[in-house]
Amino acid sequence: RCPLYVETVKKAKALITDRPVFAGVIGPFSLAGRLMDVSEAMINCYIEPEMVHTVLEKVNLNDKIDKIGDYAFSGCGLLNDVTVPATVSYIGKNAFYGAAALNEGFVFANGDTALTIGDYAFYGVGIENIVIPARTTTIGDYAFATSAVNPVTVSTEKISAYAFMDCVNLEKVIITPAVKKIGVYAFEGCISLSTFGVETVTAANTIDLSGIEQLGAMSFAHLLDTVNYNVISTLSNTVLANAFVK
């Protein structure tokens, strides 16, 4: 429905020229609605935009929250300070999609609650150095695709399809021995990738797949276009050829 709302607002603004047009879509401004009602937020976007900007920069999630819903903070381009409580067991689809300003202010609190990260949850976010909690059991498709992550540490059994696709700044991926499967196109287009493997792997242009039992097609596609990697693996040459397609 959002595209329809946006188009309606555009048309209203074009037709109404003698006074301000106050219109909005529940989404980014619903965050401000936690500190002021939505009508106030809309008016303040016009008369006190700097104040609303400040409100939208930070989200406090208390430790009673166990889920972050689908699309919860999608499109919140100003958001830069979020701590995910240890009690959270689910981060929904598209939850932080496009939150480009989110970086050092993003923290996963330590905890034991099993965590699922949904599809596209952090697609296009500005987060750089990130340790995905060891309690994470699932990383959804496209979960961190096109984001600024670098480096990244992963402990899940499977890195899902397209999970880090086109993360062009990603230079180092640290995996724990728990990681056994890498999905199709998982690191396709990660043109800066230099080191992949367990923490002891430090040599540049090295991709250590020693513990990987299942490697998806195109999972490291186009990485060999410009760099000759030292690929360490016990998988068949056919599997590796399909994974590292030029």
Say whether pLDDT at 170 is over 80: yes
Cα dihedral sign for 175, 202, 150, 165?
A: negative
Backbone angles phi and psi of 45, in degrees to 5: -60, -25
In the chain, % of residues over pLDDT 70: 85
Say whether pLDDT at 33 is over 70: no
**Which one-letter DSSP state was computed for residue 109?**
P
pTM of the complete model: 0.77
**pLDDT value, residue 57:** 65
Largest CA distance in the chain: 71
Say whether pLDDT at 2 is over 50: yes
**pLDDT value, residue 28:** 46
**pLDDT value, residue 89:** 95
Reading the block at residue 144, the tokens are: 């961190």
Q: How confident is the model at residue 26 (pLDDT cuts 50, 70, 90)?
A: low
Residue-wise pLDDT for 190-237, tens only, equals 999 999 999 888 888 999 999 999 999 999 998 877 678 899 999 999
Residue-wise pLDDT for 56-94, tens only, equals 666 667 788 899 989 888 877 778 888 899 999 999 999
Which of 226-240 are b and which e, b meaning 16 or more Cβ less than 10 Å from the residue's Cβ?
A: eeebebebeeeeebb
**Which one-letter DSSP state was computed for residue 77?**
T
Beta strands (DSSP E) in the chain are 58-59, 67-68, 81-84, 90-91, 106-108, 115-117, 130-131, 136-139, 152-154, 158-159, 172-175, 181-182, 195-197, 206-208, 214-215, 230-232
Length of the chain: 246
Query: Does residue 10 come out as left (phi exceeding 0), alpha (psi in the -120 to 50 range) or beta?
Result: alpha
Task: Give CA–CA dist 83/66, Å, rounded.
Answer: 13
Reading the block at residue 115, the tokens are: 């965590």
Q: Closest Cα to residue 122, out of 102, 150, 137?
A: 102
Tally the C-alpha atoms within 13 A of residue 198's C-alpha that lie toward its C-beta: 12
Helix or strand run (H / E) with residue 40? helix 38-47
